[in-house]
Every structure is written in structure tokens, then in C-alpha cells.
Amino acid sequence: MQLQLFQTESFTKHKINLIEESVEQRTQQLIIDEGRGEFLDRNGDPLSYEEKNVLILFPFLKSMEWPVEKVADILHVPVNTIKTKVEKAKAPFVFGGNKPFQLSEEEMEAINGLEIQGLFALKRKFPKQEMLASQLIGITGENEKMFHERYPDKVKGAHQEIGVSGLQETFDEWLVAEEQAKLIYHVDARGGPLFGVDVKYLAPSNPFYPLNVKTTIDSKLQQELEEVADTYNIEKGGLLLLDIEKSEIVANVSRPKINIKDPYGGTGATNYMFKSLIPGSVFKTAVAAAAIDEKIVDETTVFPCSEDIYGNQAEKQYGNINIKKSFAVSCNRTFAELAKSLTEKNPNLIEQYAEKLGLIGDISWQGDIYHYSNFKQLQLGESKIFSSEEEKKDMNFVSQTGIGQREVRVTPLGVANMMATIARGGQKYRVSAVSAVEYENGNSMFSFPKEKGEGETISRYTAMKLQQYLRGVVTDEKGTARYLQAAAYPIAGKTGTAETGKYEGEEVPSNQLYNKWFAGYFPFDEPKYALVAVNLDVKINEGGIYPIFKDAVDAVYRKEKNID
């Protein structure tokens, strides 16, 4: 009774599905589709898999008379190549193995027209070896214990893979497979056909499943930016492209790449675009916003920019200059002084303005969907400005914070969102990477509407001033990003070169490692995209960020203008 009725699909504490196990014991089968939902780009094209026309053969063909010559002729391969594969086979197999022999539609039709039992030409899904936006999409793994913890009511398919990172994990409940599509035949104890050579095709009966997740990724732009990252040999870092109007991630490139065989080796599974990093001078944007909005400074005020933040002689001599010029040349002294003035007025002002800009705080799309309340699309690293209240009382710490050092940690996504907020004139929105969850037939199960960010934002006047200052970084005769004047679009943005406190080898200045940033938006007059490029743990004379940013902008331009 226990075996046959009560615990048939969940036997013992290990929850063994006896029906599935008995079927596996007396059959040989080849999975055509695992049944897990897939990820699509914004145009509905697959991101996580590709379909191939393949030939599948069953081992019982070796004991049959079948027109192998005709099959070989259709495939244009030697007869012995097919015969040898069948003779060695102990289970159903795809002709060509890991690099399957791909058939044309005509070849498929011709092979299936022969009506050979045990030989099938069909479409099969294969995981992409190099999936676009792989860290954003995430990875899956087989973990039976975790499967039962997540889905205690599910008894079928406990051996299937579940999402363990990225969107695969976040949207796992909708993606998890209900049924597999497979070719199956029954065998005796020696592996021979039990009921003749009758092969059955078992497929899900519900036309609405599996569900698919439609992302906001543009495959072409994603591919272009992946190539930019590889051209410049970014070992650690990446690029993030944001649609300003829709507040959607268009491309998410993170390096190092994921190694499919060892996804957690070498931190390849980490999405550095969502990781909290030291921003350096990019953070001066938030300090400037606070100082302008709080009327701490105007353009008549000048700062001694031949001095560093401690009053010593600076490496670069700019003389006494105002905030606009200070922003263009990235004068540390100016923003250290502004940070101190802001903190003296209110110890929480810098943090408050970082949040008003959408740099920190709840910047991921979140809301009530399905049976989830406050569902979050994106899992981001925890950003911070100060590590403790005590630090706000030490003006040396505050000075370092004002230039994006000390304990400041923000995500590239947060920086891109800040740039988008400024480009929109101060309007703040939460960011999404998924637009909808769709049924298999393409109809929407539910969607994610554009969502305003909570809390206060900066004034329109402050946003306008920041727009001018960000543009000056590129156009000013001494601006830090003059190189970007050659880009296909006019750019506004901010440079960042952050000291990491790390060294490559001996702790000497030449071996010090930096995080190099450029963040901005374009086209300047009609903003459409915000872009962040970051190259992590590189030496001061290596890993230049401007060519990376420029080439990414130029790639967007070519795509927008349909230039090959």
C-alpha cells in the first residue's frame, strides 16, 4: 500500500518518485526539451538557448535492416560513419555529439519521409555555449534538496535544474519545468526493445507552458558591447546601458566571463554591474547635486584647486576655480570642501541626495505580482556612503567621502540610474530588466509597468546645472574626458579613478590598482541612453576607460542609424 498508493510519488524522507524511477529503469530515452522556461530579448528572440535541426538515432537500429545508404546520401556523409556510430551506441544519441550535424529543412523532410523507426530528424533546444548577458540571466544547477525546499508540493521532476543566480533564480518559480519533451522506448534487462521498436514521443499537453521571461535586453547592442569589452581585454568590470525613457537595462556586460563547466571559478558568475564598488570621482556628481540644491554653493564661489584635500600642494595646478570648472577638471579640493559644508549643515545630506538621484536605495523594480508582495526583479549589492555615524564627525573622513573614496560603495547600475535621473530633469524611476512573463504562445501572463522611484528627487534647476557640468567634462578645454568629443554622439558624463587600496605585487606606487570609471548619457540634447563603463583593479597607466566608452557609444550609433 505504501509503495503502490500512499507514497508512490514521494517515497521516504528523500521524496523519491517511484513512478519516475521505474520508468527510467525500464526505458531508454532522449530528452528533446527539458521543459524549463526560457529567456527572451526585448524582441522575443531567445537569449538562453538555440534551436537546431538534428538527427537522432536509437541503438536498436544495429539489429535492423534499414536504408542507411539513403540516409548517408541525404546527409552527404560516408555510410560507415553512420554505421559505426550506431554500432557503438548504448543509448539514443544526437548525430555529431556535442557539435551536432545540423540539417536543413529539406534534409529533415527527406529523412522523416523515409519513415524509419528509430531515426528522427527534429528540432531540439541546446543551451548557448556563450549566452549573452550571462551574469544578468544567471545560471541553473541540479539540487534536489533545494528543489524540495522551494517547491514542497511538487513531486515530479525533482532531478531538474533550478535557478541559483541572477534572473534564473529570481524568476525560478515561473520557469521551473512541469513536463519534459522526450523520445522514449522500453527495453528489457539487456537493453533490447521490449515491445518491438515502437518509439514514443512524449510532450507537454498544455500549449501555454512552459512560461518564458521576456527581458529588456537588446541582443544586437548586447553583442556589440560584449565585443567592446573583449576588444579592450577587460578582465574585471564591464558596461551597462540603460534606456532613459523606459528605465530599462538594454545591455549588461560583466567580466570575467562565466565558465560553463565551473561557473563560480574565477568569480565569473558575479555580475559586476550589480556589485557595490568604490566609485571615485563619479560620486562628485551626488555631492554637486546636494551642494546646488541646498544652496551651499553657486558659480561665484571659488576653491583653491592648486591644493589637495588636506591643503598640501596638488599634483595638478588649477588655481582658484568655481564649481563648474572644478567639476570639469575633477578638482578634489572643491568636493572635499563641499562635503564638509553639507555634513556640517546636516550629517545625512550626502546620503539623502545619493538617494534622491537614484544612486542608492530601492532602485530595482519592485511591486506586487502573482502571489508575491514587494517582488524585486534585481538583487543588488548593498550600497553605502558612510560605514558609521562616527565617520560623519571626522572631517578628514568626510573629505575623502566627498571624492568617492573612504567607505563609499555604489553599483554601476546605480550610477547609470543617477545619470538617467539627471538627463530626465530630475525624474526618478526604478530600473527593470524584465518586461513580462509570457505564456508559450507569446501572450502575456503579467507585465512590469514603468515605475516611479519613491521619495524626493532633486529640483529641475539642479538637474539643469548638473547637465551643464556633465557636458563640460567633455567640452571644457581642460575637461578630463576631452577624448570623448570624437564620439558619434555628443556625451555628458563624469570620470572616476578610485584608489582600491590593492597592489599587484610589491606595495609601490607603480603597482597600485585603481577602479576606472566613466558614466554619462547621450545624445546630450535629446538623451536616450545612460551608459557606465568600469575597468576594475587596473594600474594607473593601463586599462584606459575613454576608448571603451567611446567605442560603446559608437556601436549604439551604428545600430540606431542602421550602419553595418
The Cα–Cα gap between 71 and 370 comes to 50
d(CA 51, CA 123): 6
Q: Which amino acid is at 532?
A: V
| Cell numbers placing 297 | 554653493
Which 3-state string (H, E, C) describes 366-391? Answer: EEEECCEEEEECCCCCCCECCCCCHH
DSSP 474: H
Q: Which residues of 129-159 are buried (b: 16+ CB within 10 A; e: fewer)?
A: eebbbbbbbbbbeeeeeebbeeeeebbebbe
Q: Which residues pair with 304 in a beta bridge?
A: 320
- The answer to whether 437 and 214 have CB atoms below 8 angstroms apart is yes
How far apart are the two ends of the chain, measured CA to CA in Å?
Answer: 68
Which residue numbers are catalytic? 281
Give me the phi and psi of 381, to 5 degrees please: -65, 155
Task: For residues 17 and 169, give the distance between their C-alpha atoms in angstroms, rounded to a whole number.
Answer: 24
| CA distances from residue 285 to 17, 282, 342, 357 in whole angstroms, order as listed | 58, 6, 14, 9
Cβ neighbours around 2 below 10 Å, total = 9
Pick the closest to residue 517 from 266, 356, 283, 224 (CA basis): 283
Amino acid at 26: R
